[in-house]
Chains A and B, each alone.
Chain A
Amino acid sequence: MKHFSLLAALAALAACGGRPPSGMVAVHDGWARETTAGVIVSAGYGRIENGTGQDVRMTGADTPVAGRVEIHNVTDDDGVMRMRPLPEGIDIPAGETVELRPGSYHLMLLDLNRPLRGGERIPVTFRFGTGAPVTASFEVRNAAQAAQGGGQ
């Protein structure tokens, strides 16, 4: 019996990707693209884990390095890529994780007030309607790192 409960606990851990349910919303593996002078947009990615027992909606984000941040999605319409803002945000059901990744959901960092250099870290604060905001430290990745880690 003792073994069974241990197995059940291990299975539960495995189902959560090795993490016990956090009881809160967490942002994992956040990263943004490197830019250079004159390039005033970047994109931000990461996984948003809803460890709470309730559905939440990510309604927006901020970072001190960008004038504004929008939530965007990309659709592939038979080879034509269309990027559109999601002003209503992204729903994250209870217990689930939504991934922001290239070619899909992402944060659009607009009107950057300085170039983002590969290797530095920037704070990004996610807003969840009236819920508590979550601040994550995003790693700025250069093109080669982006292609290997966060590309396809």
Chain B
Amino acid sequence: MTGPVRRGLKRGLLVSAALIAAGGIGWAVYRPEAPVDPAASYAAAVGGPFTLTDVNGRPFGNDQLRGKPFAIFFGFTRCPDVCPTTLSRMAQLRARLGSDADTLNIVFVSVDPESDTPAQIGRYLTLFDTPIIGLTGTPAQIAATARAYAVYYQRVPLEGGGYTMDHTATVFLMGRAGEFVTTLDAHESEGPSLDKLRRLVRG
């Protein structure tokens, strides 16, 4: 490559780099303020078809949830703290819906299919005095469902020989056609959560 050509190429690269940088700065400066709504980032990504197994060992697909809005939560039955806290809260919120309570389904999906048999999930869910649809499946079915809901989970061995599961503990609120509506924030007080549920069931 001769000198002038190389210089020209170099200059071209520099100009391109400068333009890209300027464009980047311009984009960063002129980008309109994005609304700070963590739920919005889920909208395009959350939900979709799944095939799992209910507590009676029968196949259960997403189509069986059509027609009613639902709140869906991923967890595991050996989870003594976060999962019962969330499910108790859902039971309490549903009770607060009064006459609208029956228009909402609550769905619990296990992220620990190796331990959580349909019967085990069925027993676990009797602890919460509200009907909850408990689902498990093969590891592949669980993985596909978690992927559809952008849910992370990971089995973590503990030193004492046991294990725990790290998992996304977000409650996703889904509409009648299975479309994503919003999430419940575990840290928000009852009022805002109840408002979201009322909008969901009446919307």
Measuring CB to CB, which residues of chain A are less than 8 angstroms from any residue of chain B? 33-43, 68, 70, 72, 74, 76, 79-85, 87, 102-103, 106, 108-110, 142-144, 146-148, 151-152
A143/B88 in contact, CB under 8 A: yes
Segment with Cβ contacts to A, from B8-16, B137-145, B154-162? B154-162
What 6 pairs across the A-B complex have the smallest Cβ distances?
A: A147-B88, A43-B80, A143-B88, A102-B85, A81-B169, A38-B123
A109/B80 in contact, CB under 8 A: yes
B127/A79 in contact, CB under 8 A: no
B56 at the interface (CB under 8 A from A): no
For A146, the chain B residues whose CB sits under 8 A away are 84-85, 88
Known: A81-B82, A81-B166, A81-B169. A144 touches B88 (CB 8 A): yes
Known: A76-B186, A102-B85, A151-B89. A143 touches B166 (CB 8 A): no
Would you give the 0/1 interface string for B23-39, flagging 1 where the beta carbon is closer than 8 Å to chain A? 00000000000000000
A/B interface sample: 25 pairs, CB < 8 A = A33-B84, A34-B127, A36-B123, A37-B123, A39-B123, A39-B124, A40-B78, A42-B80, A43-B80, A43-B84, A76-B169, A76-B186, A79-B168, A80-B168, A82-B156, A83-B166, A84-B164, A85-B159, A103-B81, A106-B81, A109-B80, A142-B127, A143-B129, A146-B84, A148-B92
Known: A79-B170, A147-B88, A151-B88. A39 touches B127 (CB 8 A): yes
Q: How far is the CA of A110 from the CA of B79 in the complex (A)?
A: 11
For B79, the chain A residues whose CB sits under 8 A away are 41, 83
Known: A143-B88, A144-B129. A80 touches B160 (CB 8 A): no
For B158, the chain A residues whose CB sits under 8 A away are 85
Q: How far is the CA of A48 from the CA of B81 in the complex (A)?
A: 19
B166/A82 in contact, CB under 8 A: yes
Q: How far is the CA of A109 from the CA of B84 in the complex (A)?
A: 14
For A84, the chain B residues whose CB sits under 8 A away are 164
Interface-central residue, B77, B80, B129, B164, by most chain A CB under 10 Å: B80
For A74, the chain B residues whose CB sits under 8 A away are 81-82
For A80, the chain B residues whose CB sits under 8 A away are 152, 166-169
A102/B81 in contact, CB under 8 A: yes
Interface-central residue, A36, A72, A79, A103, by most chain B CB under 10 Å: A79
For A143, the chain B residues whose CB sits under 8 A away are 84, 87-88, 91, 127-129
For A151, the chain B residues whose CB sits under 8 A away are 85, 88-89, 92
B77/A144 in contact, CB under 8 A: no
B159/A87 in contact, CB under 8 A: yes
Q: How far is the CA of A80 from the CA of B74 in the complex (A)?
A: 11
Query: Closest chain B residue to A108 by CB distance?
Result: B80
